[in-house]
Amino acid sequence: MTTKSRAIEDAGPREPYGDHDGDRQRAERGDRTMRHFTIHHDGVTIPVSRGGRGRPLVLCPGLNSTQAGLRELTELLRRDHDVVTFDLRGHGLASAADRYSFEAFLSDLVAVLAELGRLDLPAAPVLVGYSLGADLAVHYASEHPDTVAELVLIDGANPVPEPFITAADLPEFRAMWEELATRNEAERGTARQVLLTAQEILDLNLEIDVVRSGILDRYRKIDRPIIMIMSTSMAGDSGEGRAPGRNQNWRAGVERLVREQPRVSTSWLDTDHRLVFTHAPEIAQIIRGAHGPADQADHLNTP
């Protein structure tokens, strides 16, 4: 994969897939309160896992990522949090769906949090979203502000000044996601599978561009603390082609948000959009450190 193929929504880790049952058993050995259940809504089945101890936290994956793929970050967060993870429709152990749209994925998050609302949580959860999951978190919080304690947005929900995909970019991204869909075939039947076609992934990214063009209005409705953990090279670290411009557009979006909402706390990690897979310990430290002076993270802000 070239650096430019890392742009936009994450393609997920490409390391060999580990046994999901083994992952589950290891988590259960570390915490006997580990629970697994399913939610049925809108014709789909959403698998949910809950475990850990401490402050409640919900981790929402992004497009082309699964709770199995986010296992390292999840296990780190479970040291200090009662963590809930799940798979979006068409991802991981969730069932396929007849539609994959932003609103459909948002309904998955709404269904999960509604189910948690019926449980005896000691407090409103921290809502953490990665990539598309960050956008879903912002939309959810803007509509249900009293049900979350704070937001942690990882490389998503960015009010970029310019769309990431222009008409001139379509051939490049269409080819990239055709390659991704082919690779996804090897994951079929595993907890890391992604059932979306290349065209569905492309259509969703085009829709996400539209969603982000109006996301500042969503931020204005949220009165909860917001932490953004962003990559410095979202589109890869190549100094050639369109990558530098895409990375600048990414930074400009965050700067635009902070100018309007200075209460938003921002940390930058010197990596690309795969930061949840490559920098899980740093991300967990930032989240942990944000909750008190006793364990402050070294926020990797860059000028």
Alpha helices by DSSP H, listed for the chain, are 20-30, 71-77, 102-117, 132-143, 170-184, 198-213, 215-219, 243-260, 275-278, 280-289
Number of domains present in the structure of the chain: 1
How are beta strands 226-231 and 126-130 bridged, if at all? unpaired
Whether 184 is covered by a domain: the verdict is yes
**Bridge partner residues of 230 (DSSP):** 268
Contact 11, 275 (CB under 8 A): no
For residue 217, the model assigns a pLDDT of 97
For residue 16, the model assigns a pLDDT of 31
> In terms of residue numbers, what domain contains 213?
33-295
CATH of residue 199: 3.40.50.1820
Structure tokens, 92: 């991981």
**How many angstroms separate the CA atoms of 43 and 91, rounded?**
15
Alpha helices by DSSP H, listed for 31-77, are 71-77
Measured CA to CA in angstroms, residue 159 lies from 16, 201, 208, 239 at distances of 34, 20, 11, 23
This prediction's pTM? 0.87
Whether 2 is covered by a domain: the verdict is no
In residues, how long is the chain? 303
**How many angstroms separate the CA atoms of 285 and 76, rounded?**
9
Whether 163 is covered by a domain: the verdict is yes
C-alpha closest to that of 131 among 106, 156, 167? 156
Terminal-to-terminal C-alpha distance of the chain:
29
Whether 28 is covered by a domain: the verdict is no
- CA torsion 203-41-107-186 (nearest 10°) is -40
Contact 29, 61 (CB under 8 A): no
- Which SS3 state, helix, strand or coil, does residue 150 take? strand
Whether 25 is covered by a domain: the verdict is no
* pLDDT by position in tens, the chain (length 303): 223 333 344 444 333 323 444 444 444 444 456 899 999 999 999 999 999 999 999 999 999 999 999 999 999 999 999 999 999 999 999 999 999 999 999 999 999 999 999 987 899 999 999 999 999 999 999 999 899 999 999 999 999 999 989 999 999 999 999 999 999 999 999 999 999 999 999 999 999 999 999 999 999 999 999 999 999 999 998 888 889 999 999 999 999 999 999 999 999 999 999 999 999 999 999 999 875 433 333 334 433
**How many angstroms separate the CA atoms of 160 and 164, rounded?**
8
Whether 52 is covered by a domain: the verdict is yes
**How many angstroms separate the CA atoms of 15 and 270, rounded?**
21
For residue 188, the model assigns a pLDDT of 94
Whether 5 is covered by a domain: the verdict is no
Whether 3 is covered by a domain: the verdict is no
